[in-house]
Structure 1
């Protein structure tokens, strides 16, 4: 029995050691999907299957399900939330409130919201709290008489074929999206006061938001490139939010449809929706653009141990390792714009860190001739990447009384003057006393 317990203990220790060095995976795994209609599960199956094929566990619930809950006993049950319930003004018949969704995002979780022409106040308020403002006119949709799909040439031109896509490898991947993205839905704008929201799919300069079944009696409120079709938000806690004015753009019909943009002769066999939405979902759920910093170290130049205090004019070196999550593993992050501040009320030292291909960033500098409590500070913010905020305090002291140089070279003239005065006084005294 004792041998069995010993073997079990050894295996437990080995397992704990093996898991202790396993890096934390930032990718969301369990996602709650709230649907207005159960048919969405089949009509949008390509998008859902894409998520499931990448290892996500989707929990589908109808918007009128009273058992909908994001947390239980203070613990969140899901890592992400997808709201494909644009017309529902009361999720779970009131069991899921606006503040519940906002708290979910504030706690660092991710959110996808898709609206349409029937967007409820609940969906509009969620978007508004994220810095996204939908068109006030509930009957208005995006109309474009230049950038529409030619299949709708005889229609009202509300089926938009947009290629105004953000150029960002970290958000949409390195492979270019060749085909236009099909969109039918309502317009929204990014609040000018929000520095966290970003347009990823925009309308053309000729687009406008209006009711296509009525003549315009006044100029549209939203026009041109100020209309955003799809926007994203990265909160200060690195939670990510996707806001789309179209639920149809996620559907199998739009993902499989061929597309020919008005004014062009080339017809694409398949729209760019699947590639666009798949790559965008990778970013939303942290498969790309997620950074972590480890092994933050500082020490005196030439030493190995980290001191508890520095002295003015000490030579020191600082290093940190930064990695990016690739969706399956942590890879070294390589950039030229990571900076370190040696901070006391304001930066006394600002250095761009040198890098290597292993993810190690380092620099060295001399401690300024100012004593106090300083901070090693890195505030790294780059479009599409999670922000890094690193701070480590360290006191800096002046010289001790016995650390100053005994004789300063710059004071040699004064030393010479003092000794020459004493010698001259001694000679004068001898001459005065013994010579008349």
Structure 2
């Protein structure tokens, strides 16, 4: 080979090597979350043991059957990362590693919090062996697990009967949140098998919701030790499964039981204490499948398009309005069904015409095809107003639309020449003039 050609060949080889590495990376980015296709597609699953991949196979297969690409990694693998070159490699994260003390690679609590803050979704499953790291991640999401080591939820009234007696830490739960947007339209008939640690949520935090709660008789304690003091959390304040929808519409699912995702719990029959009905199969599969659709934006994700406003009888948007103008406002709202955008139909979408406070607040009408519209008169106040739609409903992503528009008063040549309400004053003026004329004639010509 010509010695002068050797450096050029080396450059070509390096360039081809770069392309070989870059093309898979670009392909990964092409699968990422986008506003037009909001369903997460590439999900990182961190586990303590790769055996979870087979022991929880039904749950994972349900995700894969809906088009998700799962990347299974050991939680302490030194090569794992959530982002590279400033771009996130995954749309969602599943933490099935309750006992992990330290994540590998560049993942830590701050990285997971930043992952959620950037709009990505998260599922956390813990158990009685939950490490301080997992508790810290859950606390960042507004959930506090019971701090008593080895504590599990115990219920002497709502446990699942097995054999001659029952394990009172194996609970048959059925206190669900009432929301079709979160759990789907089909009711979960069979109880949910739960064995694990309970957690509490701050009632003042309106971003965290309890999806599956304990019965009033439940309490959290270590079954291997004698209960000397009242339990830290008890009754309906114990949450088995909670969800978080952040202000950026990122979604988080937090469960106190990893076993409730397992094939064993999915396929087990359930006989709840005190109930004569034995269910051949628990409701775990239906419950967790439906709630995973919500977490990964297959349901309850809204978008607004074609926001328009104009004067009645016109089609073009004006640069400003005049006081007392009649106007029309319209917007189209759609919900993501997991595969396509479908019209969102509701009767509680409101429009505000806002300046410091809403001067107009009106519920919009819908054509049942996703289009909402309202007509109203501009207030008799001039200034800089905003059209505002603030839509927040349980289980749905929030919509916040605003558009600024100035409102001007009448110009000097736009007022009515003769105001009806002023006719009495007009009459008084002319009558005074006529009276003065009569008085003058009488005074001048009368001797």
Q: 2:206 aligns with which of 180, 187, 195?
A: 195
CA drift of 1:152 comes to 6.3
The residue number in structure 1 matching 2:37 is 25
CA drift of 1:155 comes to 5.4
CA drift of 1:191 comes to 1.4
CA drift of 1:414 comes to 1.5
The residue number in structure 1 matching 2:55 is 43
Q: Show CA shifts across 1:224-279 (max 9, x none).
A: 11110011111111111000000000011111111111111221111110000000
CA drift of 1:429 comes to 2.4
Q: Show CA shifts across 1:131-184 (max 9, x none).
A: 111001021101111111111664541111111122211111111111111011
RMSD: 1.3
The residue number in structure 2 matching 1:306 is 317
**Contact kept in structure 1, 2:161 and 2:167, CA below 8 Å:** no
Q: Matched residue of 2:178: which SS?
A: coil
Q: Matched residue of 1:67: which SS?
A: coil
- Are 1:260 and 2:271 matched, yes or no? yes
Alignment of 1:174-213 (within 5 A): 174-213=185-224
Q: Matched residue of 1:419: which SS?
A: helix
Question: 1: distance between equivalents of 2:198 and 2:35?
Answer: 41
**Contact kept in structure 1, 2:208 and 2:242, CA below 8 Å:** yes
Question: 1: distance between equivalents of 2:438 and 2:158?
Answer: 104
**Contact kept in structure 1, 2:159 and 2:167, CA below 8 Å:** no
Question: 2: distance between equivalents of 1:152 and 1:104?
Answer: 45
Q: Matched residue of 1:149: which SS?
A: strand
Q: 2:403 aligns with which of 392, 395, 407?
A: 392
- Are 1:287 and 2:298 matched, yes or no? yes
Q: 1:117 aligns with which of 124, 128, 144?
A: 128
- Are 1:159 and 2:195 matched, yes or no? no
Question: 1: distance between equivalents of 2:97 and 2:163?
Answer: 26
Q: Matched residue of 2:294: which SS?
A: helix
Alignment of 1:278-427 (within 5 A): 278-427=289-438
**Contact kept in structure 1, 2:297 and 2:338, CA below 8 Å:** yes
- Are 1:269 and 2:280 matched, yes or no? yes
The residue number in structure 2 matching 1:5 is none
Question: 2: distance between equivalents of 1:115 and 1:145?
Answer: 22
Q: Show CA shifts across 1:266-323 (max 9, x none).
A: 2111111000000000000010111111101100011110101000000001001111
Question: 1: distance between equivalents of 2:245 and 2:346?
Answer: 20
Query: What TM-score results when the alignment is normalised by the length of structure 1?
Result: 0.93
Q: Matched residue of 1:158: which SS?
A: strand
Query: What TM-score results when the alignment is normalised by the length of structure 2?
Result: 0.91
Question: 2: distance between equivalents of 1:206 and 1:294?
Answer: 48
CA drift of 1:122 comes to 1.3
Alignment of 1:59-78 (within 5 A): 59-78=71-90
- Are 1:150 and 2:179 matched, yes or no? no
The residue number in structure 1 matching 2:103 is 91
Q: How many residues in Structure 1 have an aligned counterpart in Structure 2? A: 414
**Contact kept in structure 1, 2:160 and 2:167, CA below 8 Å:** no
The residue number in structure 1 matching 2:248 is 237
Segment drifting more, 380-389 vs 67-76: 67-76
Question: 2: distance between equivalents of 1:95 and 1:416?
Answer: 87
CA drift of 1:407 comes to 1.2
CA drift of 1:66 comes to 1.0
Question: 1: distance between equivalents of 2:234 and 2:188?
Answer: 25
Question: 1: distance between equivalents of 2:209 and 2:303?
Answer: 23
Gaps of 5+ in 2: 1-33
Question: 2: distance between equivalents of 1:374 and 1:214?
Answer: 64
